[in-house]
Amino acid sequence: MKHRLFIILSVVFSEITYPQPLNDRVLMVIDNREVPAGEFIRMYKKTYETGDLSEFDQYLEQYIIFKLKVTDAIREGYDTTVSFKNELQGYREQIARNLLTDQKVRENILKKAYERSLKEINAWHILISCPPGSSPEDTLAAWKKTLEVKARIDGGEPFEQVARSTSDDPSVKYNGGNLGYISSFQMVPQFEDAVYGMKKGEISGPVRTPYGYHIIMVKEIRPSQGRIKVAHIMRSIPPGASESTAKAAEDTIKAVYRQLLAGASFSELAKKYSDHRESAVRGGEINWFGAGEIAPEFAEASFALKKNGDISPPVRTMFGWHIIKRLDLKSPPPYEEARPQLESKIDGTWLNSMGVKSLVEKLKKEYNFSLNNNAFNWFINNTDTLITKGYSKYDRKMIPAGLLYTFAGQKYSVSEFAKYIENKTSPENNEAPESFVKNLLESCITSHVLKYENSILENKYPDFRYLVKEFHDGILLFEISSKKVWDKINDTVLLKQFYDEHKHEFPGKRAFEGTIYAYKKVDKAGKFYPAFDRFSRYPDLDERLAKKFNTRNDTVILIHKGIWQEGDTTLPENIEWKEGYYHTTYSGFPAVVFIRKIMEPVPLPFDQIEGELITRFQNYLESEWIKQLKEKYTVRLDSNVLEEVKKNLKNE
C-alpha cells in the first residue's frame, strides 16, 4: 500500500492560505506533536541529492517510523531524565559556541595565527618588571628605566651586555636575553604582536605586557621548520653544580657518543645512561615539538639533523648534556588541517574574547542597547578602594533608582549592578576603582547579552533549531531502541528462546550415512563391479574386497565411511537419495556408493547460526515494535503541505 492505514491524509480546502514560509508549516502531527516541513526537508536533503525524488515515498515512510519511535520515547518519559537533559545540553552548548562569537573576527584570528605559525623568529628581550596593580609611581619608574635601557642600546652598547646587567628575567643569566626561535601562541599576546610586527634587525621601544616593559630585538626570521620527534640521552648538570660534577657529565656523554659511533643501540644506551628517566624507559623518545617549545640549543641541534636516524654530537643546554637522534619530521600542515589545533589554542584565551566582544557590540546595536550614563557615572564617583577590596559596601540610600541599561526588552537595575560589584570584590584586588567598575560593567553586559542571545538561538536561527532537534530525537531514538531492541538482542536467554520458537526456519541439509568404495584402476572396472555385487551379500564385504584386490605393495580399493550432505561437491551426481547400492564414479575412479540410511533435515544448532539469528531477532523485534507503534499512534499528514515539500525538493 502506498499509504499505511495509520496515516490520515488531511485534505485542506484550496481557499485556505498559508501566510508562513513553507519551512514553518506543519507537515504532520503525531500524538499532538507538530513536525514542521522544514525539519523534514533538511533531513531529506542530507540523504538525497538535490532534485532526486525517486525514493521519496520510501523515505517518507521511514521518516514517519523514526518520528513514531521518538514519540514513543517521549510518551515513556525518556526526555525527562537527568542523563538525557545533560547530554542534550552538552550538544547544544557545543553547536551554540559558533553562534556566540563573531565568526568573521574568529576566522581572521585563525588565519592570522596560521600565517604567524609559518614563521619562526629569533627574539631577544630585556624585561623591566612592572606587574599588574603596580602603583602609578612604580609604573612611571619602570617606564623611565626602560627608556634608559633603550638609550644604552641605541648608543651602541651590545644588546646582550645590556640585558645581562639590567633584565629582570631570571633566565637572562643563562641566555643573555636570547629566547631562541619562537612561533605563535608561545608568548603573551602583547609580546607576540610586537615581535611579528618587527623586521629583522629591528629593536622595539617599550612593549607593555602583564610582566612589565620589554625591549625586544628581532635577530633572525625564517620559515617554520615544522615539528620534529627525537630521542635523546641526557646527562644532567644541576644548577650550581661544581666544575667536577659538570666535567663528569661531559666525560660520560662523550663516552656514550663513542659507543654510538661504534654501532651500539641508542635505545639501550638511553635506558642505561640517560638521567631523563621519563624518556629513558622509552629508549629516549620524547614528544613532538617545534621551535620555542624546548631549550633553544636542543631545538636547533634537533632540526639540524638531516634525516631520520641521524645522531648529533653532544649538545650543551642549561639542563646538561644531550645526544639527540632524529626519529621523524613533519612539515607545517595546510590551513584546513591545522585549523582544529589552532581553534583549541584560541578557545579560552583573550583571542577568543575578541570574537565575543565583536559579537556583543553588534548585538547591542541590533537590540537597541541603552546605558544610563548618569547611573554609570555615579558608580565611577562613588567607588573607592574600600569597596573594591570588599571592606565597605554602597550606601543603599544613595544608590540611584531605576535602570542601568536596557536592550531587547531586557532590564538591569542600578541596584543589581551594585550587588554585582560587591560580589566581585577582594582584599587582593589592586585595580584602580574606575578601571574596576568599567571592566565589571563590560563583563556584566557581555554576560547578559550573550545569555539572552543564547536563549533565543532556536527562534533566530532555523538551522540551529533543526540541529538541536536532530540531536534531541537522535538521543531519544538511541535510548528507546536500546530498551526495545538492542538490550534484548544481547540477552542470551531471550535469543535462545527466539531460536526455540523459530529454529524450524533454519533447516539443515538432507544427508545420508553410508560408504563409498572406489577402485583406483580405471581400465579394470569390469572386474570390480561383478566382484562387488558378489561380495555385497556378505557382512564382511569390506574385508573380502580388500583381500581380493589389495596387495602388500598396492592398495587399489579405497573405502570411505561417513555422512555426506546434499550438495556435497565430492558426491557423484547420478545417485538416487534412497537406501541401496549405486554403481558410479568417484574422483574419476569406478565406484559404488552404499547409502545405509537417509537422514532428513534437522534445524541447525544455535552456535552455528548465532550471527544470522541475531539479525533475524533484531528484524523481528523492530517489526513487532513498529506494528505496535502504528496501532498506538495516529499520524495526520497534510497532503497540501506534502505536495509543496515535493515541489520544493524537486526545484532546488
HSE, side-chain direction, 13 A CA sphere, residue 338: 21
What is d(CA 15, CA 36) in angstroms, rounded to the nearest whole number? 21
pLDDT tens figures, 306-319: 999 999 999 999 89
- Give residue 348's pLDDT: 67
pLDDT at 7 over 60: no
Those residues with Cβ within 8 angstroms of residue 601's Cβ, 6 or more apart along the chain or in another chain:
507, 508, 509, 510
∠ CA 194-199-203 to the nearest 5 degrees?
A: 65
- Give residue 5's pLDDT: 37
pLDDT at 351 over 90: no
- Other C-beta atoms lying within 10 Å of the C-beta of residue 85: 12
pLDDT at 4 over 70: no
pLDDT tens figures, 597-624: 999 888 988 988 888 999 999 999 999 9
Look up residue 200 and give its DSSP letter. Answer: T
Q: Name the nearest CA neighbour of 585 among 529, 540, 512, 527.
A: 529
In the block, residue with C-alpha cell 624546548: 294
Q: Which of 217-226, 339-348, 374-383 has the lowest mean pLDDT?
A: 339-348
Q: Name the nearest CA neighbour of 126 among 207, 186, 196, 187.
A: 207
Q: Are 286 and 299 in contact (CB under 8 A)?
A: no
Look up residue 311 and give its DSSP letter. Answer: B
- Give residue 652's pLDDT: 63
Mean pLDDT of 62-82: 96
* Beta strands 7-10 and 635-638, pairing class: parallel
pLDDT tens figures, 464-512: 999 999 999 999 999 999 999 999 999 999 999 999 999 988 888 899 9
- Give residue 13's pLDDT: 32
Spacing of C-alpha 592 from chain mean position: 67
Q: Amino acid identity of 552? A: R
C-alpha cell at 420: 554585582
Residue 629 to residues 31, 66, 73, 75, 632, Cα–Cα distance (Å): 11, 11, 11, 12, 5
pLDDT over 90, % of the chain? 69
Q: Are 297 and 319 in contact (CB under 8 A)?
A: no
What is d(CA 37, CA 490) in angstroms, rounded to the nearest whole number? 37
HSE, side-chain direction, 13 A CA sphere, residue 565: 8
- Give residue 520's pLDDT: 85
Q: Which of 13-17, 139-143, 436-440 has the lowest mean pLDDT?
A: 13-17
- Give residue 608's pLDDT: 87
- Give residue 345's pLDDT: 81
pLDDT at 95 over 60: yes
What are the residue ranges of helices labelled H in 186-290? 189-196, 243-261, 266-273, 277-280
Single pTM value for the model: 0.67
Mean pLDDT of 158-172: 95
Mean pLDDT of 4-27: 57
Q: Name the nearest CA neighbour of 149 among 135, 171, 130.
A: 130
pLDDT tens figures, 331-349: 999 999 988 888 888 876 7
Mean pLDDT of 378-385: 96
C-alpha cell at 62: 521511514
What is d(CA 192, CA 216) in angstroms, rounded to the nearest whole number? 11
Q: Are 250 and 314 in contact (CB under 8 A)?
A: yes
User: In what side-by-side order are the strands of the sheet with 207-209?
Assistant: 178-182, 119-129, 212-223, 207-209
pLDDT tens figures, 540-559: 988 988 888 887 777 888 88
What is d(CA 563, CA 372) in angstroms, rounded to the nearest whole number? 98
Mean pLDDT of 3-30: 60
pLDDT tens figures, 175-211: 999 999 999 888 988 999 999 999 999 999 999 999 9
What is d(CA 363, CA 460) in angstroms, rounded to the nearest whole number? 13
- Other C-beta atoms lying within 10 Å of the C-beta of residue 586: 18
- Give residue 415's pLDDT: 96
What is d(CA 302, CA 308) in angstroms, rounded to the nearest whole number? 11
What is d(CA 282, CA 266) in angstroms, rounded to the nearest whole number? 11
Size (the chain), residues: 652
Residue 129 to residues 135, 150, 152, 208, 217, Cα–Cα distance (Å): 13, 15, 18, 10, 18
pLDDT tens figures, 233-284: 999 998 888 999 999 999 999 999 999 999 999 999 999 999 999 999 999 9
pLDDT at 593 over 80: yes
- Give residue 9's pLDDT: 47
For the chain, the first-to-last Cα distance in angstroms comes to 29
pLDDT tens figures, 388-430: 999 999 999 999 999 999 999 999 999 999 999 999 999 988 8
> Dihedral (C-alpha) 50, 53, 55, 59: value to the nearest 10 degrees?
70
In the block, residue with C-alpha cell 565406484: 591
- Give residue 17's pLDDT: 41
Question: With bands split at pLDDT 50, 70 and 90, how would you rate the model's confidence at 10?
Answer: very low
pLDDT at 350 over 80: no
Higher local confidence (pLDDT), 133 or 498: 498
Average pLDDT for the chain: 90
What is d(CA 159, CA 461) in angstroms, rounded to the nearest whole number? 56
Count Cβ neighbours within 10 Å for each residue of 511-521 and write b for 16 or more, e otherwise: bbebbbbbbbe
User: In what side-by-side order are the strands of the sheet with 580-586?
Assistant: 557-565, 511-519, 589-599, 580-586
Q: Are 37 and 23 in contact (CB under 8 A)?
A: yes
Contacts 24+ apart (CB under 8 A), 547-551: 549/519
pLDDT at 572 over 90: no
